[in-house]
Amino acid sequence: MAASLCLRAFISCPKQSNSWIPPYKPIIPMNVSARPNCLNSRFAVKCSVSENFEGSEAANAAVLEKPIWENWLATAASLYPLYVTVGGLVACFKPSVFSWFVGRAPTSYSLTLGFIMLAMGITLELKDLVNLFMQRPFSILYGCAAQYTIMPAFGFIVSKILGLSASLSVGLILLGSCPGGTASNVVTLIARGDVPLSIVMTVCTTLGAVILTPLLTKILAGAYVPIDASKLSISTLQVVVAPVLLGSWLQSTFPQAVKMGIPFAPLLAVLASSLLASSVFSENVVRLKSSLIATSLPSDASLLLRVQTILSSELGVVVLSVLLLHLAGFFVGYLAATFSGFKEPQRRAISIEVGMQNSSLGVVLATSHFASSLVALPSAMSAVLMNIMGSSLGYFWMYNDPSDPKEVAQK
């Protein structure tokens, strides 16, 4: 969840080189002298590299040296998909491990998400985000519009096509109406996409979630259950926007104190996010296991029949609905960016940002405002599946050069 904490260097530069950059390390952008000066940020990397720097052996020297323990912390924080997958397996086979956390819900869920967003906020300087927004308003606004149209619409469409129950339909629509997740920033970096665009989109959609998430959920899911949009809005303000703004204020007011805690924040945030998703999943494990047992087949049943039976079970339907939702986000987000004339790095950033949601917010809102625990299940399942899908897409794109062939030919 707190992946953007590892990417502070990128927010200060309006453009990004097409050269591949090893993930999870602060870097000095290439060919900076040919671009506008970077913003003067407290946490930005200073961009003062010679014009002939790119492609030379000096590139390795440009990587900022950090203590080994900080590199270990950054690497550990990048393993979020692994943590949430392991947590899901533990929740599946021994759900009682999370009973201490589940028993204090929804307060424990809300406080955990607040901590995650506070960790994000302490790395942000809003004036730099505003400056970057003013330089690239169209791409940022376009990406945010794609986020809040594609995913909510497909949440509604998929729930209709699969004939989900009322609780699961509300949960899937709520997930689709959530803002972009910060794990998308690291995936965009891996995919050689436009990282500054991804980070600013995450922040903008997070701030917009106060109004848009409750409004879209009420419009699309109000037919299933009564939804109080004002209460959803207040909760979103409390657990998402307020901690982000508080963190940004702390960063600007007490920079030295915040600087000491920043290396630990990413790992703590991703562990907290994994705990949150695994705990919600553990709440529904017994019910999901019961649905599988009820659809048990004889030992001589064919593989195709077994697959069909699993997909028709409650667990199979939830997994399929979440997979389809995120696949639609990645694919349609990329197509929308392509049709609008964006270059490949921006297409990748928008695709990943649209396809990856803040599933922790979906969990908190579902557990706080809906009686059925099934409403939170799509968001909890998404935390596992979304990160596996996003990481796979990122590594696929990592080995595909995003450079425009025409621009390369002209060099």
Alpha carbon distance 155, 375 (integer Å): 13
Which has the closest alpha carbon to 379: 230, 272, 273? 273
Alpha carbon distance 175, 386 (integer Å): 11
pTM: 0.74
Q: Of the given ranges (9-18, 38-47, 308-317), which has the lowest mean pLDDT? A: 38-47
Residue 61 has pLDDT above 90, yes or no: no
Alpha carbon distance 143, 76 (integer Å): 29
- The chain-wide mean pLDDT, for the chain, equals 76
Residue 163 has pLDDT above 70, yes or no: yes
DSSP classification of residue 40: -
Q: What angle do CA 362, 252, 249 make, to 5 degrees?
A: 40
The pLDDT assigned to 293 comes to: 53
Q: Is the peptide bond before 106 cis (omega within 30 degrees of 0)?
A: yes
The pLDDT assigned to 347 comes to: 94
CB 46 within 8 A of CB 8: no
Could you tell me where the DSSP H helices lie in 163-264?
166-176, 183-190, 195-221, 229-236, 242-253, 255-261
Q: What tokens were used for 172?
A: 């899937």
Which has the closest alpha carbon to 378: 205, 177, 204? 177
The pLDDT assigned to 13 comes to: 43
Q: What tokens were used for 271?
A: 């562990």
Compute the residue count for the chain: 411
Reported as a pLDDT band with limits 50, 70 and 90, residue 219 is very high
